[in-house]
Chains A and B, each alone.
Chain A
Amino acid sequence: MREYKVYRIEHGTVIDHIPHWNSLKVLDLLGLRQGSDLVTVGIGLDSKNMGRKDLVKVENRELSQEEMNKLALVAPQATINLIRNSERTHKHKVEVPDHIVGLVRCPNVGCITRHEHVPTRFDAISRTPLELRCYYCNYPFRSEELELL
């Protein structure tokens, strides 16, 4: 196996085991396109378990637990490594939160949240595979239909 072409970081966060091509969604979800953080993205890296995977490194930033849980929406198997002084100090698995507020658009076009100014809210009804139910219209859907706000 060839070496990764993604250099080490001294301080920050490495998000590994992102499904292939979902790294761009991770950037959106964490607002990394707008921020000033130095971000490195690896797309289509070799993975023993996933075949191909993506990876995101964010320098000088540590994710909060809430941010890590958000990641479960687009990368349910992701591992998050916190790096301090070039050493991994913590390793976390993401966990889908019970309730997801204001992050996702309801796929049901008839839902009140698509027509009025209502903050969206979903309950996680299954984690593997990821399945959410709209708190308002009860529409259940899987991650394939998931669209971030």
Chain B
Amino acid sequence: MLKNRSLVSIRDLSRAEIELVLDTAHKLENHRGRHLEHRQVALLFYEASTRTRNSFLTAVHQLGGSEAGFSSGEGSSVAKGESLHDTIKMFSAYCDAIVLRHPRDGAARWAADVSDVPIINAGDGKNQHPTQTLLDLYAIRATQGRIENLSIGIMGDLKYGRTVHSLVDALSLYPGVQLHCISPESLALPKSYGPHQVHQRLEDVIPQVDILYCTRIQRERLPDEAEYEKVKGIYRLNAAHLHNARPHMRVLHPLPRVDEIHPDVDVTNHAYYFQQAAGGVAVRKALLYLLLGLS
């Protein structure tokens, strides 16, 4: 179903394909094997990454494969001015798949068009981050038993946050999902992302939702420092806010957090962001397994 395909945008997947990835991730969660033996996966990270890069690296190793690539553009041929086109052409000749993180919107689609092997988008500018979305969905399903008919709050930078854009796209495939967006007006979700309820106060939303998805205000993506100063620290979830949350409500975050979730939330039953991040390895193993047609 997914063999030899690239994953550039969550929109590339149907609901059935998303479910296949999540089911495969569940099966592979504690699995180690030699499915990728004698195969190489290129990890081309033009931007810094901790969780995404290392969970892909761990996934490759747990499936018995090896990796090539770089973890920042510096020190590679990229620093000498090589185009993305040429870098992709070269690595697609060396490797069986390419995991790409790039600062430009649309870089992954361009890479997929020129590559001879599957491209997995590990984040392109402010556009898409589909593997994060799959692990977000994995966490939602694990904690709520389903994705459809849930009430989901999304808080923070909804304008520039690529994890938000990918997640909203994916949730549109599930009937009955109610979206509550909590952000300052300047960082609101673009209207093109479909129907959603808009809130400015976090406290109004907490009792209404099954999932609260928090995101960081991304200093590096705002147009200037003055814009950042206006909105930094605007939402800070703490344990006291959760007194009227539904008992099964879980707080998710793509991490890293800055100050939008106080550490006192970590010890509540609502915190799930570390388990969510841990699921990233299983999801990325599932993607490699399916896109490379492993058995």
A positions within 8 Å CB-CB of B:
108, 110-113, 115-118, 134-140
B115 on interface, CB distance cutoff 8 Å: no
Contact of B105 among A110, A117, A140 (CB under 8 A): A110
A to B CB contacts below 8 Å, 5 in the list: A108-B105, A112-B106, A116-B104, A137-B109, A137-B124
- From A110, A135, A140, B109 is in contact (CB under 8 Å) with A135
Which residue of B83, B85, B106 is within 8 Å of A111 (Cβ)?
B106
Contact mask for chain B residues 207-235; partner A; CB cutoff 8 A; 1 contact, 0 none: 00000000000000000000000000000
Q: Which of B9, B102, B106 contacts A113 (CB 8 A)?
A: B106
Determine the chain B residues whose CB is within 8 A of the CB of A138 once the complex forms.
9, 105-106, 127-128
Residues in A neighbouring B104, C-beta threshold 8 A: 110-112, 115-116, 137
Chain B residue, CB-CB nearest to A135: B109
The smallest C-beta distance from B62 to any residue of chain A, in angstroms, reads 32
B106 x A136 contact (CB < 8 A): yes
In whole angstroms, how far apart are the Cα atoms of A115 and B106 in the complex? 11
A110 in contact with B9 (CB, 8 Å): no
B102 cross-chain contacts in A, Cβ below 8 A = 112
**Is B25 interfacial (CB-CB < 8 Å)?**
no
In the complex, what residues of A have CB within 8 A of residue B2's CB? none
CA gap between A110 and B155 in the complex, in Å: 24
Q: Which one of B102, B105, B107 has the greatest number of beta carbons of chain A within 10 Å? A: B105
Whether, in the assembled complex, B125 has its beta carbon less than 8 Å from a beta carbon of chain A, the answer is yes
The chain A residue with its CB closest to the CB of B125 is A110
- CB neighbours of B128 from chain A (8 A): 138
- The reply to whether the CB of B192 lies closer than 8 angstroms to some CB of chain A is yes
Q: A111-B105, A136-B106, A138-B9 are in contact. Are A117 and B85 (CB under 8 A)?
A: yes
8 Å CB contact of A134 from B83, B106, B124: B106
Task: Check if A112 sits within 8 Å of B83, measured CB to CB.
Answer: no
By beta carbon, the residue of chain A nearest B103 is A110
- With a cutoff of 8 Å between Cβ atoms, the chain A residues found around residue B127 in the complex are 137-138
Summed over the interface, the residue pairs from A and B with CB atoms below 8 Å come to a total of 52
CA distance A135 to B8 in the complex (A): 12
Nearest A residue to B105 via CB reads A137
With known contacts A110-B125, A138-B128, A117–B83 Cβ distance under 8 A: yes
When the two chains form their complex, are residues A116 and B105 in contact, meaning their CB atoms are under 8 A apart?
no
The 9 closest A-B pairs by CB, nearest first: A136-B106, A137-B105, A137-B106, A112-B104, A112-B106, A112-B107, A110-B105, A136-B109, A140-B192
Q: Mark B65-98, 1 if CB is under 8 A from A, else 0.
A: 0000000000000000001110000000000000
Give every chain B residue within 8 A of A136 (Cβ-Cβ): 105-107, 109-110
Q: Which residues of B contact A137 (CB under 8 A)?
A: 104-106, 109, 124-125, 127
- A85 and B124 CA atoms in complex are apart in Å by 56
Of the candidates B9, B105, B126, B192, which one forms a contact with A112 in the assembled complex, judged by CB atoms under 8 Å apart?
B105
In chain B, positions 113-135 with a C-beta closer than 8 Å to chain A are: 124-128
Contact A116 B85, CB 8 Å, known A111-B105, A134-B106, A136-B109: yes
A99–B4 Cα gap in the complex (Å)?
25
Kindly state the separation between the CA atoms of A116 and B110 in the bound complex, as whole angstroms: 10
Chain B residues whose CB sits within 8 angstroms of the CB of A108 once the complex forms: 105
Instruction: Kindly provide the distance from the CB of B128 to the nearest chain A CB, expressed in whole angstroms.
Output: 7
A116 x B125 contact (CB < 8 A): no
Given the interface contacts A110-B105, A110-B126, does A116 sit within 8 Å of B192 by beta carbon? Answer: no
Per the bound structure, the CA–CA distance linking A135 and B11 in Å amounts to: 12
The minimal Cβ–Cβ distance linking B76 to chain A, given in whole angstroms, is 16
Give CA–CA (A116, B82) in the complex, Å.
Answer: 10
Q: What chain A residues lie within 8 Å of B192 (beta carbons)?
A: 140
How far, in angstroms, from A138 to B109 measured CA to CA in the complex? 10
Cα distance A140–B37 when bound, in Å? 43
